[in-house]
Structure 1
């Protein structure tokens, strides 16, 4: 009997209320992004750097340049993510669980239901997170011209219009739809593979391991679209369609996904579309492990709370 590994008891669709999914998801998302923020900063700077500058650097030089900076520099923009991650993940997990319950019907292991539920969840949550993600990425850039979250939001709206905060929303959804499909399919498959026929109990270690595998694979596959998203979010949209990059980012003449991909491919080749894939995987593997284990722990807390409340009422 192993008393060191916490157990999570699986209840039929978890027996939780909508708001409980939201709280568990909000905590999980916040913990995930706060813990992994320095790695996300490194990934953003590698993806946003101008093509000409990138070619003159070795793959190891960018991490070295970033690590030479103060610890505070690695966490610049974390306030924006703090404001966006909690609400976005609350919406994400609540919508996911609701759709999964509706679409799964009597088959709780239906992979298509999981994938479809994830797509619905990401379309909704991305609408909440994208503006703060834009602000976060602009603040993460080296020599960012913005003083903070409030200054960045104000200047973007005044100088570029409110729509600039959603310039990458389409790309984000296009990226996160396959990311979510691969993520959840891998997560569920990894869980089933590790627990075998015994499905009564699941450990936190199991959720962390399955989440890490799912996060790493999904991150690697969707890196090209993440590069496009980063480039779009780091553009300053001026009058008459004039566009310029922030802090050395490539200047893009179009916000079309195909056009941005073509621009990157012409300047750097197909390798440019995989820029930052290592830190992206290093971010999403532990991030998914943290998120899933925290989320399941939160659900377990509410399951026990509901059981205690139900028993006391009887």
Structure 2
């Protein structure tokens, strides 16, 4: 009888443990953070990413507008020399205020929507790459609506010989001369570009992060920063190269009519692609791929490591409040 009772107790203990484990996994998958904490972490990460890499973004913008604008070089080195010769070092940072205004709110939306959708789509499974990709697509549709107007301002200010005196001057003149629609002329193209970009980016990041942590699981906690930075860099570089043609189209639409850039009647992706191919050949669709990759690889490393660090801060803060 005692043996039977002991066996029943052991069986009860064995059964009760798995019942508790899913709750722990679910909490870990959700990171134990509130929605506003994801927003703040994302906002800080986005600001750090874009501010740190802004000069590279300026080079990319001017190279992609090359077919119509004054710079007559298709190489990174020549583009840099041209910018420094005409505007000095400050030319690399022209338009940074517009990005500063837009990046924070846009990335707050981006990461908070991503985390909410990942939680909903994955069903608590951290290995669901399809859910990560789908969550990324939802995140970019929402964040692009916030960022696109300031991105238009930023790219117009980045052009060599820009006629605008600054962020507010650009906003006033574009509104008066072209209407509010000009700020969203590239929104459809931006979403079409960023949907696959984000799908590739998030799926690659999550997969690379898991793979790197499995290499040395005993040191995963100590090497967390290196893991996030490496996975982010790989994801950013791959996604950037794949979507460069659509980024060229976006730049052409956002800069149309400025500094001699072509103006497009329909504003469709097909119309812009035909114009670019006619003037520059198919290689014109890959213009700026090198600075774009050089931007997104370190930018993604900065963004993800900053984001994960901010999440860790909030997690520790939340735990301290419970003690």
Note whether the superposition's TM-score is higher than 0.5.
Answer: yes
Looking at structure 2, the residues matched to 52 and 122 of structure 1 have their Cα atoms a distance apart, in angstroms, of: 29
SS at match of 2:151: helix
TM-score normalised per structure 1: 0.89
Deviation per residue, 1:193-234 (Å, 9 max, x gap):
212173963611110001001001100000000000000001
The structure with higher relative contact order (CA 8 Å, sep 6+) is 1
Render the CA deviation track for 1:165-212: whole Å, top value 9, x for unaligned.
000000000000000011111111211221217396361111000100
Give the whole-Å Cα distance in 2 for the aligned partners of 1:139 and 1:151: 10
**Partner residue of 1:308?**
320
More helix by share: 2
Checking the alignment, whether the CA contact within 8 Å between 2:68 and 2:260 is kept in structure 1 is no
Structure-1 separation of matches of 2:232 and 2:179? 38
Match of 2:255 in 1: 234
Tell me the SS of whatever aligns to 2:31: helix
Largest Rg, 1 or 2: 2
Q: What is the match of residue 47 of structure 1? A: 64
Structure 1: unaligned runs, 5 residues or longer: 1-9, 236-244
When residues 58 and 303 of structure 1 are mapped into structure 2, their CA distance, relative to the original with a 3 A threshold, is closer
RMSD: 1.7
Aligned residue number for residue 176 of structure 1: 194
The correspondence for 1:211, drawn from 232, 243, 251, is 232
Distance between the aligned counterparts of 2:258 and 2:271, measured in 1? 19
Query: Structure 1: which 4+ aligned runs deviate by more than 3 Å?
Result: 51-54, 199-202
Report matched runs for 1:98-113 at 5 Å.
98-113=116-131
2:162 equivalent to 1:144: yes
What's the counterpart of residue 212 of structure 2? 194
The aligned length equals 292
In 2, distance between residues paired with 1:284 and 1:176? 13
Q: CA deviation at 1:11?
A: 3.2
Find out whether 1:13 has 2:25 as its counterpart: no
CA distance in 1, matches of 2:317, 2:82: 48
After the TM superposition, which of the residue ranges 131-140 and 188-197 deviates more from structure 2?
188-197
SS in structure 1 at match of 2:30: helix
3-state DSSP class of the match of 1:100? Answer: helix
